[in-house]
Structure 1
Amino acid sequence: MNHPFGWWNIETSNPANVEHMLKTQFPIYQKGPYQKSILKDLLGNGIFNVDGEMWKSQRQIASYEFNTKSPRNFVETVVDTEPFREWHIQYILKRFAFDNICKIAFGYDPEYLSPALPQAKFAVAFEDAAMISSARAKSLSSILWKIRRFLNIGSEKRLKEAVVEIRGFANSIARQKEQKMFQNSQELCSAESDDLLSRFLKSGHSDEKFVTDIVISFILAGRDTTSAALTWLFWLLHKNKHVEDEILREISKGRGKHKNKTEHVSVFDQVKEMVYTNAAVCESMRLYPPVPVDVKEAAANDLLPDGTPVKKGMWVGYIPYVMGRMESIWGPNWAEYKPERWLEAEDADNSGKGKWKFVTKDPYSYPVFQAGPRVCLGKEMALLQMKRVVSCILERFRVVPAVEEGFEPVFVPHLTSEMQGGFPVRIEERTV
């Protein structure tokens, strides 16, 4: 694509090109200085806005938080403790995800989803900052937003005010954690302090701005992505009742399987067994990915596998939203919401009934969680969280869109995607 002022960029939907960018030539395709400048005010030097050694060290520390113990703890002690109410479901799910990520990553419960649904200036500021930062990225030239930032007017003035609010909130979380660890040295060895923020502080990262950047980055990752995915999932389940019915059968089957067992069966184990629901979640994200586009900047001249030349400084992007709708990848029925495309039937079990087996797709054809060295560390946690939320809600309630007949939602691609205007629903208790 040829833009004004001699600026070129490349957009690709070729899985071979995506693998080349995310794995084969990973060192060449970076965030780059311009993208960093776009998100610098919001994300600073957090893990999602850096390259090289700074990225590597943050990822290494963060990886310990996503071991096999943490997902189990996340599902059983974090996800299962949050209440739900009837409201705009996208709005509620963002609150739910915000509480979740704060508890698992920072050991802090903001109680944003308490029954009173308290207003939070931080949440409003975060929405505004993400939207304005995304608009920067879509601008054909950085000149206008840099002028507005210099003059402190318009959207850039709002961004500055929002960032002050966000950083104040994130900094208060970091300070509370530091004070708690200082007051009781035993805290350093306790299970209670075994969260992401504690790991960073114990690793020697005590710079206030850096720790604040970490907090903001993981709030962005944990709050907006899963809430976006679940919002679209509930819409698709409404449009495809047979899929909802199949999920309900899986929930019922799981309950029956463990009903007469004397030993305790953990929530984690029950959720892990939800193969069809896992397929339904992945299929939903194929059509409506939480992160709709990913752009890298070439640090050197290169040649993509399809023969496209890349010059140093060019932006090269792949778009999961487009890739999830390509016939060449998903076949002629790509437009159908079909969880079965992720499943294959296993041999019949002892009861004579067959069961489903989940089939993982090539991550470069389905880069919803990125792939290669930057693959999402929280992938398993996110899938477990979404399956548990779906099972908890659908087992007891019907989620009915409170919209006019013929309503079709609009997909809005910011830093993370969302449904335009929210998603108002009625929550009806199941009677059978």
Structure 2
Amino acid sequence: MAIFGYSDIFLFILAIIFLCVWRSKSWRKSSVPTNWPLVGMLPAVLQNCHRIHAYVTELLSECGGTFEFKGPWFCNMDMLITSDPANIHHIFSRNFSNYPKGPEFRKIFEILGDGIFNADFELWELHRRTTLSFMSHVKFYDLLERAVWEKVETGLLPVLEHFLKQGIDADLQDIFQRFTFDSICKLVLDCDPCSLCIDLPYIPCEKAFNEALEALLHRHVLPESIWKLQKWLQIGKEKKLMEAWKAFDEFIYPRITFKDDFSLLTAFRKAYEEMNGSSSDARYFLRDTALSLMLAGRDTTSTCLTWLFWLIAKNPSTKIKIREEIENELPLKDDKKWRFFNVEESRRLVYLHGALCEALRLFPPVALEHKSPVKPDILPSGNYLQLNTKIIVSFYSTGRMERVWGKDCLKFMPERWISPCGGIKHEPSYKFPAFNAGPRTCLGKEMAFIQMKMVAATIVYHYNIELVDDHPVSPRDSVILQAKHGLRVRLSKRNV
């Protein structure tokens, strides 16, 4: 009979972790974690799991932008963490073919199936080619413009007016999430779920994104054996993820139609049939495609808008400059009466564009990316990578590195993005990876800026936004960098 059972060993390891966390918390001032016997650097992660993005930024700042993390000896958790633009350029562009999404990424993001975020090689080419063709069509921006302004008129403004007249606080993040959810559903599924209305109805699919994204971050930082055990037992974050999966399926599948019209899903169905020679299993592929597009359209855009208004509220002078630009650049009437502007006119809002870029730099909606090389490689930082080495690229940290953005890197400065001649200043994607970098740069970048300008300009022009006192605002521990407790504000009418 064994002297120690598995439960004894497990309790022993837990005791070691507890001791390491306690000693680390009591003695250490450096962000660099101790590599403890048996448990590696896991105690530092557990100690900072409630502020993981901030902790990684502190760690990378102290270590020159790249750090080799050592996990417990009994788990496959060793990884390289980087925010170095040179490494990002190498991984995402120069040696792109050596860093596909791969099986590890697909395992973590299994809920997305064969959508573009999981796709590699021919499947990725199909997604990119089809999306680019659709968005390049002459009808697309008319469709986008109509969808956005209709939702502003029937959803956003009535809801904001309701909160104002009732004299109650509004959660702008919730409002933006509902707005972008309705808008992307209209573009992708040709249906408006009307989640943004005065009643603010609970729609399981719309709220399922938040639960799913938090669980997916935990899959990045927990040993695979742990989250797989949670999945098998249907407990914790994995239970929430499975519930979200069900909500997505129940919402999307009934709305998949096989019409021959100008729509994104029709374009993808035809592309799928051309690749496979039939429409067999197309329904599953369209579900994965729709979910990925809904994730991109709902969460990234709403997250940027949330942080933009938090930053504007913290820096009131930017609000005045945005209003002045609206009045000077948009064809408003002499009485300054508001009117909806078109896609081309939105490009005149250079200062607002800069403000959006600053919000994206400081709070990139997709906070991190997971990569692995299929062949050994050496990064520009000098780090040697073995086959299938786990790499976590922190986009959040890249935007907050003094060596990348200067001593004022933590300041909100829209002027940073305006060139001497008054145009929009370009920064390379490996330095500003808010829309990813290299060949995988987001195809919806232009669409996102147009939509965000329409929403942001409407609100800034019509309302004064004041943050609710004592309401905590901090990044959520999620793959998408939402505000953990929302963004509660008070509205007042602006005197035009």
TM-score, length of structure 1 as denominator length: 0.88
Q: Return the alpha-carbon distance in structure 2 between the equivalents of residues 26 and 91 of structure 1.
A: 36
Q: Where does residue 398 of structure 2 map in the other structure?
A: 323
Matched to 1:25, the amino acid is N
Instruction: Tell me, yes or no, if the aligned pair for 2:126 and 2:271 is still in contact at 8 Å.
Output: no
Q: Indicate which of 399, 412, 415 corresponds to 2:476.
A: 412
Task: Give the Cα separation in 2 of the matches to 1:325 and 1:95.
Answer: 29
Q: For residues 186-228 of structure 1, what are the alpha-carbon distances to aligned partners after superposition, in whole Å with 9 as ceiling and x for unaligned?
A: xx2xxxx322111112224442211111111111111001101
Residues 280, 266 of structure 1: CA spacing in aligned structure 2 closer, same or farther, 3 A cutoff?
Answer: closer
Point out which structure has higher relative CO (alpha carbons under 8 A, 6+ apart). 1
SS of corresponding position for 2:482:
strand
Tell me which residue corresponds to 1:351: none
Q: In the alignment, what sits opposite 2:328?
A: 253
Partner of 1:281: 356
| Equivalent-residue separation in structure 2 for 1:72 and 1:345 (angstroms) | 30
Output the CA distance in 2 between the equivalents of 1:431 and 1:257. 16
Task: Report whether the alignment pairs 1:50 with 2:119.
Answer: yes
Deviations 1:145-183 (A, max 9, x none): 212222334433332232122112111121xx22xx2xx
Paired residue type of 2:480: T
The TM-score normalised by the length of structure 2 is 0.77
Give the whole-Å Cα distance in 1 for the aligned partners of 2:214 and 2:198.
Answer: 28
Aligned twin of 1:298: 373
The equivalent of 2:416 in structure 1 is 341
- Structure-to-structure mapping, 1:124-273, within 5 angstroms: 124-139=207-222, 141-174=223-256, 177-178=257-258, 181=259, 188=260, 193-205=261-273, 206=279, 207=281, 208-255=283-330, 267-273=342-348
Q: How far apart, in 1, do the equivalents of 2:309 and 2:131 lie?
A: 31
Q: Distance in 1 between matches of 2:331 and 2:244?
A: 50
Give the secondary-structure state (helix, strand or coil) at the position aligned to 1:425: strand
Distance change >3 Å, CA 374–CA 79, structure 1 → 2: same
Residues in 2 aligned to 1:118 and 1:130: alpha-carbon distance in whole angstroms: 21
Q: 1:255-314: CA deviations, max 9, x gaps? A: 357869xxx995212211111100010011111111111121111100112221111111
Q: 1:154 to 1:13 in 2, by over 3 A?
A: closer
2:491 — aligned with what?
A: 427
Q: CA deviation at 1:55?
A: 1.5
Residue equivalent to 1:81: 150
The equivalent residue for 1:12 is: 82
Q: 1:357: Cα distance to partner?
A: 1.2
Distance in 2, Cα, partners of 1:345 & 1:374:
30
**TM-align CA RMSD:** 2.0
Which ranges of structure 1 fall in alignment gaps of 5 or more residues? 182-187, 347-355
What SS does the aligned partner of 1:316 have? strand
Distance 1:281 1:71, change over 3 A: farther
CA distance in 2, matches of 1:14, 1:299: 21
Name the structure 1 match of 2:432.
366
Over 3 Å counting, the alpha-carbon distance change for 1:121 and 1:408 in structure 2 is: closer
Distance 1:20 1:233, change over 3 A: same
Match of 2:104 in 1: 34
- Report the equivalent of 2:70: 2
Shift of 1:332: 1.3
What displacement does 1:106 show? 2.5
Q: Which has the larger radius of gyration?
A: 2
The CA deviation at 1:72 is 2.6
Which shows bigger deviation, 230-239 or 12-21? 12-21
| Offset of residue 420 of structure 1 | 1.1
Q: How many pairs does the alignment contain?
A: 402
Q: Give 1:339 shift.
A: 0.7
> Contact 1:106–1:198 at 8 Å: present in 2 too?
no
**Partner secondary structure for residue 48 of structure 1:** coil
Structure 1 residue 71 displacement after superposition: 5.8
Is the contact made by 1:30 and 1:298 (CA closer than 8 Å) also made in structure 2?
yes
Per-residue CA distance 1:70-98 (angstroms, 9 max, x = gap): 66325520111112224210001000000
What letter matches 1:297 in structure 2?
Answer: S
Once residues 242 and 68 of structure 1 are traced to their aligned partners in structure 2, the CA distance between those partners, rounded to angstroms, is 39
Q: In the TM superposition, what whole-angstrom CA distance separates every residue of 1:221-250 from its partner, at most 9, and x where no partner exists?
A: 110011010001001101111111100000
Per the alignment, in what secondary structure is the counterpart of residue 434 of structure 2? helix
Q: Secondary structure at the match of 1:365?
A: coil
| Distance in 2 separating the partners of 1:26 and 1:70 | 33
| Code of the aligned partner of 2:445 | K
> Over residues 300-329 of structure 1, what are the superposed CA-to-partner deviations in whole Å (9 max), with x where a residue is unaligned?
100112221111111123211111111111
**Identity over aligned residues, as a percent?**
33
CA separation in 2, counterparts of 1:110 and 1:257? Answer: 32
How far apart are 1:254 and its partner, in Å?
Answer: 2.0
Contact (CA 8 Å) 1:74, 1:381: kept in 2 or not?
Answer: no
